[in-house]
């Protein structure tokens, strides 16, 4: 009697698992259909990069900003340099902290030695 109940529970478990997996596959397929192709996204990225470059060029020609563009560009570039220096410094500090790695062997069950 108990074996018969376990067989029915196992079949129920397999049926529920199959249903959940099929729903998951359907949702993944729907997401794949909505995704844009790589070549299209690269073209859009290049197009927007050109627009941003053109906007920067126009702002440089207008020169009606609160902060001079040259000063702004220098600040941004110095910020990038500082961030790069900080990340390199963090990596070096992490590397300096790790000096040695110890490994321990499991104890032998027969004589208790390691």
pLDDT tens figures, 33-64: 888 777 788 888 899 999 988 988 887 777 66
Q: For the chain, what is the mean pLDDT?
A: 80
Between 111 and 71, where is the model more confident?
71
Q: How many CB atoms lie within 10 A of CB 22?
A: 10
Q: What is the CB-side half-sphere exposure of residue 84 using CA atoms within 13 A?
A: 6
Instruction: Copy the structure tokens of residue 26.
Output: 């359907």
- Give the per-residue pLDDT at 114: 47
Average pLDDT over residues 10-29: 92
69/80 Cα distance (integer angstroms): 16
């Amino acid at each position: 009697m108990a074996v018969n109940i376990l067989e029915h529970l196992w079949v129920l478990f397999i049926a529920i698992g199959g249903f959940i997996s099929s729903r998951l596959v359907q949702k993944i397929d729907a997401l794949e259909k909505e995704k844009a192709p790589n070549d299209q996204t690269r073209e859009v990225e290049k197009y927007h990069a050109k627009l941003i470059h053109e906007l920067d060029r126009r702002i440089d020609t207008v020169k009606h900003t609160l902060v001079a563009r040259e000063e702004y560009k220098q600040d941004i570039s110095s910020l990038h340099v500082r961030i790069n220096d900080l990340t390199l410094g963090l990596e070096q500090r992490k590397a300096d902290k790790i000096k040695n790695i110890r490994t321990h062997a499991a104890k032998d069950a027969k004589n208790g030695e390691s």
